[in-house]
Amino acid sequence: MAVHSRFFLLFILLACINLLFSPHVSGQDVQSPQDQATPSPQPSQKLVLSQATMCEKVENLTPIRPAVVFSVSAGQVCCFTSFDPVPQPTQIYHRWFHRDELSTQTRLRLYPPRWTTYSVIQLRETDKGPWRVEVSDQNGHVFNVFRFSITD
């Protein structure tokens, strides 16, 4: 009987640890009462890119200094995307191309009911020239292509 009691106590201990360390809602995931009143997304809804831009930086999920030409002295460029609706958790990709060669690919997670995210590259002198970013889903569907340039 002592062996069964130990297994039972171990089970209870593991269950408590699981509750303590399970993910909690973070500030970005908190829904307002208005969001909670919105009906659940229908399975037939599709992922929609509702806002997107290239910018120098993102602060408080807001694009700062959107442009199509960026100075290398800015130090970075961001691809800002916002999706509404997001029917189910999914992944998107920001694929950064410099002179038509893939430079980097960033995988980003999206969660219902709507989600805003961005990716960033740090600029170097060798990054001058034409760029593009393709925003696509995990099936290869391209939502948008952004073309921009890095200059002096």
Q: Which of left, alpha, beta for 65 (phi over 0: left; psi -120 to 50: alpha)?
A: left
Are the C-beta atoms of residues 135 and 79 closer than 8 Å to each other?
yes
Q: What pLDDT is attached to residue 42? A: 52
Helix and strand element counts for the chain (H, E): 2, 9
Give the CA angle between residues 53, 148, 101 to the nearest 5°: 115
Give the predicted TM-score (pTM) of the model.
Answer: 0.71
Q: What pLDDT is attached to residue 96? A: 98
Domains of the chain: 45-151 (2.70.50.30)
Q: What is the largest CA-CA distance in the chain?
A: 77
Q: Which segments of the chain have a pLDDT < 70? A: 1-44
Q: What pLDDT is attached to residue 39? A: 52
Q: Which helix (H) or strand (E) holds 36?
A: helix 33-37
Q: What pLDDT is attached to residue 31? A: 38
Q: What pLDDT is attached to residue 65? A: 98
What is the C-alpha end-to-end distance of the chain, expressed in Å?
Answer: 77
State pLDDT tens for residues 70-86. Answer: 999 999 999 999 999 99
DSSP secondary structure letter of residue 113: S
